[in-house]
Amino acid sequence: MPITAEQKFLRVTAMIPRGRVTTYGRVAELAGHFGAARQVGWVLRRQDTASTTIPWHRVVNATGAISMTISRNGSDWIQRDLLLQEGIAVDQSGRLALHTYLWLPDPLQVLQALASDSPL
């Protein structure tokens, strides 16, 4: 049975190494769903920040910033703290140097992970 778009988004996000970030759009592209950045955001937002092993906090918007909004119920500040703990400099407004911390994966490695039958 093929894996869902949501599962692909989570698998790609799980590959982002400590100290690196990528964008919602790039996760969508790597998962084979070009233009689905918003859907990636929705999937990651549903993760339980306290118990997930998916590094949701390593995904930022296309401008290289955390999406800081009241509707996130504080998860934006949790995301900032987690990135700071990994050595990623994030200012008070949630901006970071995307070009410095951007994860550039081997596309073949990503394809192999997506084709794998192993769970996350």
Provide the whole-model pTM: 0.92
Type of residue at 73? N
Type of residue at 66? I
- Give 5-112's CATH code, choosing from 3.30.1370.30, 1.10.3720.10, 1.10.10.10, 3.40.50.300: 1.10.10.10
Compute how many other C-beta atoms are within 10 angstroms of the C-beta atom of residue 21: 25
- Enumerate the β-bridge partners of residue 96: 90
Reported as a single tens digit per residue, the pLDDT across 73-82 is: 778 889 999 9
Residue 38, burial from CB neighbour count under 10 angstroms (0-12, 13-18, 19+): exposed
What DSSP state is assigned to residue 54? S
35 token code pair? 């233009």
d(CA 64, CA 23): 8
Domain-by-domain residue ranges, the chain? Answer: 5-112
What b/e sequence results for 70-90 when a residue is b if at least 16 CB atoms lie within 10 Å of its CB, and e otherwise? Answer: eeeeebbebbbebbeebebeb
> How long is the chain?
120
pLDDT at 28: 98
pLDDT at 35: 96
pLDDT at 38: 96
